[in-house]
Structure 1
Amino acid sequence: MESQQTPEGVDRARLRSTAAGIFSLLALAATGLVAGPASAAPEAGPCALPRTGAHHSLGLDTWNAAYPRPVRDLDAVMLFLSFPDAPPLTHPDEIAADHFPATSRFFQRASYGRFTLRPHLLREWLPMPRPSTAYAIRRDWEPHRRAAYLRDALAVADPYVDFSRYDIVYLVADPDAPGVDSDATKVVNLDLPLRADGTDIRRVVTVFERHPPDRNVLAHETGHVFDLPDLYRRPTDGKGDWDTHVGDWDVMGSQFAMAPELFGWHKWKLGWLGGHQVRCVPEGEPTLLTLEPLAAAPEWGVSVGTRLAVVRTGEHSALAIEARAATGNDEDTCTEGVLIYRVRGEASSGTGPVEVVDTHPRTGACWDRSVYAPLADAPLGVGETFTVPGEGTRVEVADRTATGAWNVKITPR
C-alpha cells in the first residue's frame, strides 16, 4: 500500500452530486445470501463435499458466485466515519495502520502469494449526519438502526467514492465516539444489494474496533467476504467458552489465535490449494504421504507440496488432516504436529462446520496465551498414533523430514 497517495477511485477534486435515491436500501440481514449461484468448482475431487444451502457452507464442489473469490487481486476501499457528538481524536492514517499492511500480508501468506488484497484509503473523516448514539450500535443490531447507519454512511461517502471500482467496502467508525460498540464489528450481508455507481454492493464490513483493535480482526471479517464461516461456538445464554470447536487453529475461530492460518480446507475452497496439494485417501487402504507445513511458504520456483489429506466419511462430512508448524501466519504457535479436524458441509456458520479432534484429550498447553488451552496441544507429534473416535480412521506420525515435513500413515476404517 502506498499510504501517501490518494487511491485510485477516490477523487476529492471531482465531487459527484448525491441524491437520496441513488441507493436502494431494500432489505438487510446479517446472515443473508445463503445459497447463491454456482460457478466453476475449485479443483474439486472425489473427497470434496457438495455445497449446500447452509450459510457459508464448506461444501466446495462449486463456488457461490455471490461472493468474490480471492483467486485474483481484489480492491478494497476503507472509509472513516465521524459523528457530531464526538470530534475525532485519532487521524485516519493511524487507524488504517492498525489493519494494513497486516491484513494484506496475512492473505498473501495464506494464499502462497496467489492473492493480494489492495487497500485504498479515503484519508479524512466523513461526518455522519446523526450522533453516534442515535444508531444504537451493538453486536445484535436492530435492523432498522443498521439500515439507517448504512444509508447515511454511503450517502456521505458517495460524493468522494466511485464504488464501482471496489470489490470490498470497509466502513470504519470513530473508535472514540460514545455510541460505538467495539463488539459490533461484523460483515453485513444484504438480501437485496445496494445499488451505487452502476454496481451492486452485496455486503459491507462495518468496523467498530477500539484503537488499537483486536489482533487479526479484519482478516477474520474479510474471510466472511470470501464466504468463510464463523468457527467459534456462541453460547446461547452468553456464558461459557466460545472457542471449544477449533481453539487457536484458524482465524475464523478467533482473531486472537496463536496459529491463525486458515485451515487447509478453507484454502482448498478459496482456490489456493488443489490438484496434488490435496490428497484424497481411499477407503480401507493405508496411505503413506508427506505433509508440508500448511503455513510454510513454497521455495522459490517450487510448487506447493501436499498440504491437506482428506478422508470422506459421509455425503456431507469428511476428516481433514494437515501439518502445522511455527512458520508464516502460524509463527506464534506453541505446538507443532499433525492436526485432525472434522468438516461438516451442512453446518451453517457458527454451528460447528469444523471441529478439531483433540489427540491429547487429558492435557492442554499454553494456558497463558491460548484462547482454549485444551485444544492447544491437539496435533499429533512424531511417533504418536491416534484413532479418531466414531470414525475409526487411524493416523500415525512416523517422523519429520530434513526440510520439516511430516511423514504420515493414514488408515481409514
Structure 2
Amino acid sequence: MGMALIAGPMKSVAVSMPCALPRTDAHHSLGLDTWNASYPRPDGTLDAALLFLSFPDATPMATPEELAADHFPATTDFFRRASYGKFRLRPHVVRRWIEMPAVSRAYRIRRDWDSGLRTAYMRDAVAAADRFVDFGRYDLVYLIADPDAPGVDSDATKVVNFEEPIAVDGTRLRRLVTVFEQSPPDRHVLAHETGHVFDLPDLYKRPSGEGADWDTRVGDWDLMGSQFGLAPEPFGWHKWKLGWLGAAGVRCVPEGLGTTLHTLRTLTAPPGPGARLAVLRTGRHEAIAIEARDRTGNDRELCRSGVLLYRVRGDIASTGGPVEVLDGHPRSAACAGTSAHPPLADAPLGVGESLVVADAALRVEVTGRSAAGDWDVKITRG
C-alpha cells in the first residue's frame, strides 16, 4: 500500500450511532461520524520507512540499526496492544546513513521552526534518499536525523503536513515524521507523533509562561496529552475514531432522563466481547465519555485504577482542548514525582464513589467490580 491517499470524507464505523459527534473542519477534529481519508487509517498492516540522515559537519556516533532499536519494536508493540491486534506498524530500516547536502546548522532546526527552512530540510531529505528508497512502497516515512549533529534540536520532533504534497516515485507525500530525538529518546515519542499521522490531536495545553504546566487538561491519560504519562493508552474515544472499537464496544447512553446500568470492560483488557466505552451526547459537538482503566497493557504503570470520565469536543482543534478529564477527586493529588500532572493522577472513581457533572445534569456512580475485572456503573441523567 502506498501513500497516494484519496482526499475527502469516508464513512466511519460510528456513522449510525446517535452519540457519535460530527467531524468538523477543526484540525484533527474528534468528530467521528466520517473519516478524513487524507490520513491513513491504522487498520491491518501499514509499512513505514525509517530513513537516517547525516550531515557534512558531523560523523554519526551510532548506527541506523542502533537508533531504530530506540523506537522499534516498542512502537509497534504499543499499537498492537492499543488496537487489540487490529493494527500492525511494520518498520523497514534503510541500513545506511543518507547524507544531507547542507550542514546541520544551516537548517536552524528548532521547535518553532522557520517554515521555509523546514520545507527545505524535508525536500533535501527526500531528494537525498530517493536513490536509496522507493517511497511508493510505504504508507509512512520517518526522517531520523543524526542526534549528535551540532545543529539538531530534539524539541523539533513533529509531524509535518504539506499544503502541496511532494511528488516522488509515482506517489505524493502528504506528511513526514521528522525525528530529532537524542538516544535514548523521550518515552513514547514516536507513538505520539504517529498518532498525528492517524489524525489524532494534541491534548496538552501549550502554556505561555516559562516552566508552566502543559498537562492540565488530561494529565497522564492518553499519550496524545503527555508522552511521559503513566497511563498512555489511547482514550476509548480515540480507539472508536480509529476503528479499534466498533459498535459492540460502545454504549450510547439514552438522551432521556433516568438511570441506566452499564458494565464496562477495562480499556486495556485482552480482546473479547463487551462494552469498553459509554458515551452521553451533551450537545451537537460535545459529549462525555466514560471508560475503565487498570494497571494492564500500556497502562501498567498508571497511578490509580477506576472509572474515568472526560469531555470530548469535536469542534475544537488540536492543542485547543478537544478533551478534558473530569477529576473524580478534585481536592487531592497522587503519584507526585512520577505523574505528568498529579492533580489528575487520581481522577478515576473507585467502587462506591460517584461524580456529579452539574452542567450536564449527570451523576455517575461505580457500584461494583466483577471477579473478571469488569466495572459496574450507574448513570443517572436529570
Identify whether the pair has TM-score above 0.5, normalized to the shorter chain: yes
1:357 and 2:326 correspond = yes
1:405 and 2:374 correspond = yes
Gapped runs of 5+ residues in structure 2? none
2: CA distance, partners of 1:281 / 1:195: 47
Match of 2:356 in 1: 387
Partner SS state of residue 250, structure 1: coil
1:169 and 2:138 correspond = no
Alpha-carbon displacement from aligned partner over 1:93-112 (angstroms, at most 9, x marks no partner): 11100100000000000000
2: CA distance, partners of 1:377 / 1:334: 7
1: CA distance, partners of 2:8 / 2:130: 29
CA contact (8 A) 1:359 1:386 kept: yes
2: CA distance, partners of 1:305 / 1:179: 51
AA aligned to 2:10 is S
AA aligned to 1:336 is S
1:372 and 2:341 correspond = yes
2: CA distance, partners of 1:377 / 1:389: 20
CA contact (8 A) 2:13 2:247 kept: no
Partner SS state of residue 78, structure 2: helix
Partner SS state of residue 356, structure 1: strand
AA aligned to 1:133 is R
1:268 and 2:240 correspond = yes
Partner SS state of residue 70, structure 2: helix
1:297 and 2:266 correspond = no
Q: 9, 13, 18: which is aligned to 1:38?
A: 9
TM-score (norm 2): 0.97
Q: How does 1:250-329 map to 2 (within 5 A)?
A: 250-283=222-255, 284-298=257-271, 303-329=272-298
Alpha-carbon displacement from aligned partner over 1:236-268 (angstroms, at most 9, x marks no partner): 345411000100010000110111000000000
2: CA distance, partners of 1:335 / 1:103: 24
AA aligned to 1:382 is V
Q: 32, 35, 38: which is aligned to 1:60?
A: 32
Q: 142, 164, 167: which is aligned to 1:192?
A: 164
Q: 89, 108, 114: which is aligned to 2:80?
A: 108
Q: CA deviation at 1:89?
A: 0.5
AA aligned to 2:89 is L
Alpha-carbon displacement from aligned partner over 1:12-50 (angstroms, at most 9, x marks no partner): xxxxxxxxxxxxxxxxxxxxxxxx610112233100000
CA contact (8 A) 1:42 1:63 kept: no
1:342 and 2:314 correspond = no
Gapped runs of 5+ residues in structure 1? 1-7, 10-35
AA aligned to 1:290 is T
Q: How does 1:87-236 map to 2 (within 5 A)?
A: 87-236=59-208
1: CA distance, partners of 2:344 / 2:64: 38
Q: How does 1:17-28 map to 2 (within 5 A)?
A: none
CA contact (8 A) 2:84 2:244 kept: yes
1: CA distance, partners of 2:358 / 2:189: 33
1:246 and 2:218 correspond = yes
1: CA distance, partners of 2:334 / 2:211: 23
2: CA distance, partners of 1:384 / 1:310: 19
1: CA distance, partners of 2:159 / 2:210: 21
AA aligned to 1:153 is A
Match of 1:33 in 2: none
1: CA distance, partners of 2:322 / 2:112: 22
Percent identity of equivalent pairs: 65
Partner SS state of residue 360, structure 2: coil
AA aligned to 1:42 is V
